[in-house]
Amino acid sequence: MNNYSTIQNAERSNKAHRLAIIVGIGIFLLVLISVYLFIILLPSRDDATRFSSLAQSEAGITGVRAYKASDRNGNYYSIYGDNSKGKEYLVIFNSKEKLVRRIPVSQQVSNSRLDQIYKKYRVHNVYSFAPSIYKKRPVLELSYEGQNQSLNYLTIDLKSGKVYRVIEGL
C-alpha cells in the first residue's frame, strides 16, 4: 500500500470519527433538554391532577375536558367538565384549593360576543385565554398580540362579555 492510500484511509476515518462525535453530542443534548422539560413541566401536571380530583369531589364534575391556570390576579385554576347529568360546567379554584365559582357553560359569554370583542380590539395571535377572578367576578383573562405586534391584555366578564380592563402596548 502506498502512502497516498494510507492518507486517504486516515482522512475517511477522521471524518467518520467527527461525525460520530457530532451525532453523540446531538443525542446527548436532546436527552438533556427532554429531562429538563420533564422536570419543569412536572409541577403543572401535578396541579392538573390535583385540581381535577378537587373538581370531581367538590363540584360534582365527572368528566374533565380541560384544565387552565391563570396567575394575573392571583393564582386561579379552572376545570371544564361534565357533571353526572351531562351538563357542562366551568369550576374555578383559588390557590388554596378552595372552590371559588361553579358556572354552567350555558351562562357564559357567547362566541359571537367574543368575536365582536376580538374585532373591536383587533386581536391577532392569542397567547393565553384562561378563566380567572377579578374583583370577585368570574372573568376571562386574554393575552394577545395587538396591531403593532405588542403584548396586550383584556379582562372580559365571563357571563356578560363586558370588558373590565384593557392593557395595551407592553
Domain ranges of the chain: 1-106, 111-167
Angle, alpha carbons 109-45-70 (nearest 5°): 35
Q: What is the pLDDT of residue 25?
A: 93
How far is 48 from 80, CA to CA, in rounded Å? 12
Strand, helix or coil for residue 168: coil
* Four-point Cα dihedral 121, 122, 124, 127, nearest 10: -10
Residue reference for cell 374585532: 119
- CATH number for the region 111-167 comes to 3.10.450.40
* Four-point Cα dihedral 116, 157, 41, 45, nearest 10: -120
User: Is the pLDDT assigned to residue 94 strictly greater than 70?
Assistant: yes
pTM reported for the whole predicted model: 0.64
**pLDDT digit string, tens, across residues 47-56:** 677 777 777 7
Task: Band the pLDDT of 83: cuts 50, 70, 90.
Answer: confident
Question: Is residue 51 a contact partner of residue 66, using CB atoms and an 8 Å limit?
Answer: no
Q: What is the pLDDT of residue 127?
A: 86
How far is 108 from 118, CA to CA, in rounded Å? 16
Mean of pLDDT values over 66-74? 73
Q: How many CB atoms lie within 10 A of CB 121?
A: 18
Q: What is the pLDDT of residue 6?
A: 61
Mean of pLDDT values over 96-103? 73
